[in-house]
Amino acid sequence: MLTRTEHRAARAAGLAALLCIGLALAVPVLVLVAQGAGTGLSASQGEYLLRITRFTLMQAGLSTILSLATAVPLARALARRPAFPGRRWLINLFAVPLGLPPLVAALGLIEVWGRNGIANKGLGLLGVETPFSIYGLSGILIAHVFFNLPLAVRFILPGLERLPPEYWKTAANLGMGGLSLFRLIEWPAMRQSAAGAAGLVFMLCATSFTLVLVLGGGPAATTLEVAIYQALRFDFDPGRALMLAAIQVGLTLAVMLGLKLISAPSKPGDTKGGSTSRPDAPHGLHALPDAVLIGVAGVFVGAPMVAVIISGLQADLSRLLADPQFWRAATTSLSIGVAAALLSVLLAGLLVRARYSAADRSASPALGLLSALSGAASSLTLLVPPVVLGAGWFLMLGGGVGQMLAPLAVIVTVNALMALPFVMRVIEPAHLSAMQRNGRLSLSLGITGFSRLWQIDIPALRLPLVTGFVFAVALSLGDLGAIALFGSDRIVTLPWLLYQKLGSYRTSDAAGLALLLGGLTMGLMLAADRLGNRNGTTGQ
């Protein structure tokens, strides 16, 4: 319910927001094309590109298969063991990797899976002589499963739990075996969410940057994103960066179109603390496989986090906290995070409003287009990954040398765009219900325009706005992709500082820093979650 003027304003503002996003995406792409085009590739370079592309797809494919092949039986086991001790706790634990900065997770994974980690010591005790290597493909796969197995489980489990209890009773009465139960009841209930999760996991792994950078271990295990970074920071070869970026964008586009075909992924929903009785669940000794599976998965996901906490507490935290370098990095990180979050919330607000206005009377095709574009704007940022975006701006700014504000502005913009899809998802439903509640009233009271925005609409959206804001701050705090290109001795963020300490193997400092950064982002994520729950609209 908007007045004519308000409609016009909403659409104009939405158009302006779209224009800004379009500019922020198009400029770097055009610069990449302009600077990189015309530089020919030698045969060996061409083969190298081909191999990197193949590796990118291969690791993403394997990561997806491993994550899903574990997630499906795990979700099944969790669904039929509603009273498993610590189940609620485990499901909460599975929400953590979503918000954990990849760099912090990488550190924990090295603690667990490194040559001197618990896993290899255990293997040594068992008499396995060849130590397991966290570097290269195996390390990348472990890290990707660590992040995506929990995600997939949270996608799949709600579908299983929503099945009415009568299904299980009837199945038990019919004496259905495990296999037919899976084929006739469980699989149909999770097929769609599993497919959606698979697509999402593939997309995330195909554009994975930080984990591959830290755990890749050389040219044999390099993905397109890391190769773009290396082409610019190692070789300063814009031509190669362009080729790689073009392949990357083509790839993500293909995957996204593929995803559209599979149907949009359902969102990870709330799981209920299970009261459904499951007569089909095996009992006694036969329950052991389920228990083992749940236990192993819990340890697999939990151990790296515990390792981060333990080694972080062993670090000299007081010295780290007294280090001006830490505070400088923390201030820069928080400032970037706050600025990025403000921008993200502002853009999301404008787009949501424009979409609402366009949907309100979807008469003309122009309005339909505006609505569609506003909706697609957030996905556009998935299409052009942060490193590609940063690469274009990096070339345009001549590496950002001797500049402070321009690189900072780029990092802020990239982070804001990264957060946009999530922030929009928080604000849009709240905005819709607020409009339904207050729209008519505002009109009848004659409160319109800015005063309406300030006095009615924004206060009504206060909680979702703050939730989106806090979430965006947390996301930006953990980001290494944008800063990796521009980081220097002058612009240092917490993840960049952590990466440098990790690089120079000041491991104790790195461990302490990882704990602080992990704690900060997790705290913010929890706060966002709390706020979101109070409001009834989490980013789900």
Partner 1 sequence: MRISHVLPVALTTMLAFSSSPAASAEKTLTVYTYESFVSDWGPGPKIEAAFEAECNCDLKWVGVADGVALLNRLKLEGEKARAGVVLGLDTNLVTEAKNTGLFEPHGLETKSVSVPGGFSDTVFIPYDYSHFAVVYDSEAISAPPASLKDLVEGDPRDKIVIQDPRTSTPGLGLLLWMKSVYGDDAKAAWEKLSKRVLTVTPGWSEAYGLFTSGEAPMVLSYTTSPAYHMVAEETDRYQAAEFAEGHYLQIEVAGLLAHAPEKELARQFLSFMMTPGFQNEIPTNNWMMPVAATSIDLPEAFSTLVSPQKSFLYSPEDAAENRAAWIDEWLDAMSR
**233 binding partner 1? (CB under 8 A):** yes
* φ and ψ at residue 138, rounded to 5 degrees: -60, -40
Per CB under 8 A, which region of 23-31, 264-272, 328-336, 356-364 contacts partner 1? Answer: 328-336
Query: Least distance to partner 1 from the beta carbon of 507, Å?
Result: 7
Of the two residues 65 and 342, which places its CB atom closer to partner 1 in the complex?
Answer: 342
Q: Draw the binding track, 180-209, toward partner 1 (x: CB under 8 A; -: no contact).
A: ------------------------------
**467 binding partner 1? (CB under 8 A):** no
151 neighbors 200 (Cβ within 8 angstroms): yes
DSSP calls for 85-136: TTHHHHHHHTTHHHHS-HHHHHHHHHHHHSTTSHHHHHHHHTT--S---SSS
- Written as six digits, the tokens of 447 are 């409160």
**406 binding partner 1? (CB under 8 A):** no
Dist CA 149 CA 439 (whole Å)? 43
Choosing from 162, 191, 437, 490, the residue that interacts with partner 1 (CB under 8 A) is 490
The count of residues interacting with partner 1 (CB under 8 A) is 52
Choosing from 22, 69, 85, 115, the residue that interacts with partner 1 (CB under 8 A) is 115
∠ at Cα 461 (456, 467), nearest 5°? 155
**How would you class 43 by CB atoms within 10 Å of its CB: exposed for 0-12, middle for 13-18, buried for 19 or more?**
exposed
Dist CA 351 CA 375 (whole Å)? 8
- Written as six digits, the tokens of 465 are 């706005």
Q: Draw the binding track, 408-447, toward partner 1 (x: CB under 8 A; -: no contact).
A: x---------------------------------------
Query: Least distance to partner 1 from the beta carbon of 480, Å?
Result: 15
Query: Least distance to partner 1 from the beta carbon of 161, Å?
Result: 36
Q: Draw the binding track, 42-61, toward partner 1 (x: CB under 8 A; -: no contact).
A: x-xx-xx--xx--x------
Dist CA 256 CA 173 (whole Å)? 43
Dist CA 230 CA 52 (whole Å)? 12
Of the two residues 361 and 530, which places its CB atom closer to partner 1 in the complex?
Answer: 530
**136 binding partner 1? (CB under 8 A):** yes
Choosing from 82, 114, 150, 312, the residue that interacts with partner 1 (CB under 8 A) is 114
119 neighbors 113 (Cβ within 8 angstroms): yes
**166 binding partner 1? (CB under 8 A):** no
Choosing from 38, 40, 125, 234, the residue that interacts with partner 1 (CB under 8 A) is 234
What does the DSSP 8-state code read for residue 163?
Answer: S
**235 binding partner 1? (CB under 8 A):** yes
Per CB under 8 A, which region of 57-65, 131-139, 182-190, 366-374 contacts partner 1? Answer: 131-139
The structure tokens 């659409």 sit at 11
Of the two residues 135 and 182, which places its CB atom closer to partner 1 in the complex?
Answer: 135
Choosing from 56, 67, 311, 332, the residue that interacts with partner 1 (CB under 8 A) is 332
**135 binding partner 1? (CB under 8 A):** yes
| Helical (H) or strand (E) element with 408 | helix 405-445
Give the distance, in angstroms, between the CA of residue 125 and the centroid of all CA atoms in the same chain.
Answer: 37
Of the two residues 52 and 198, which places its CB atom closer to partner 1 in the complex?
Answer: 52
**230 binding partner 1? (CB under 8 A):** yes
* φ and ψ at residue 322, rounded to 5 degrees: -90, -5
- Written as six digits, the tokens of 508 are 């104790």
**455 binding partner 1? (CB under 8 A):** no
Helix (H, G, I), strand (E, B) or coil at 354: helix
Query: Least distance to partner 1 from the beta carbon of 313, Å?
Result: 20
Query: Least distance to partner 1 from the beta carbon of 143, Å?
Result: 14
Query: Least distance to partner 1 from the beta carbon of 408, Å?
Result: 7
Of the two residues 46 and 289, which places its CB atom closer to partner 1 in the complex?
Answer: 46
Query: Least distance to partner 1 from the beta carbon of 117, Å?
Result: 10
For residue 203, give every residue at least 6 positions away whose Cβ sits within 8 Å of its Cβ, in sequence order, or none.
252, 255, 256, 259, 382
The structure tokens 């439903």 sit at 429
Of the two residues 204 and 485, which places its CB atom closer to partner 1 in the complex?
Answer: 485
For residue 286, give every residue at least 6 positions away whose Cβ sits within 8 Å of its Cβ, in sequence order, or none.
none
Query: Least distance to partner 1 from the beta carbon of 436, Å?
Result: 25
**128 binding partner 1? (CB under 8 A):** no
Query: Least distance to partner 1 from the beta carbon of 509, Å?
Result: 11
- Written as six digits, the tokens of 6 are 């308000």
- Written as six digits, the tokens of 506 are 């000041």
**449 binding partner 1? (CB under 8 A):** no
For residue 157, give every residue at least 6 positions away whose Cβ sits within 8 Å of its Cβ, in sequence order, or none.
75, 78, 79, 91, 271
What does the DSSP 8-state code read for residue 264?
Answer: P
Dist CA 14 CA 25 (whole Å)? 16
38: left (phi over 0), alpha (psi -120 to 50) or beta: left
Q: Which residues bind partner 1 (CB under 8 A)?
A: 42, 44-45, 47-48, 51-52, 55, 114-116, 130, 133, 135-136, 216-220, 222, 230, 233-236, 327-328, 331-332, 334-336, 338-339, 342, 398-399, 401-402, 404, 408, 465-466, 469, 489-491, 503-505, 507
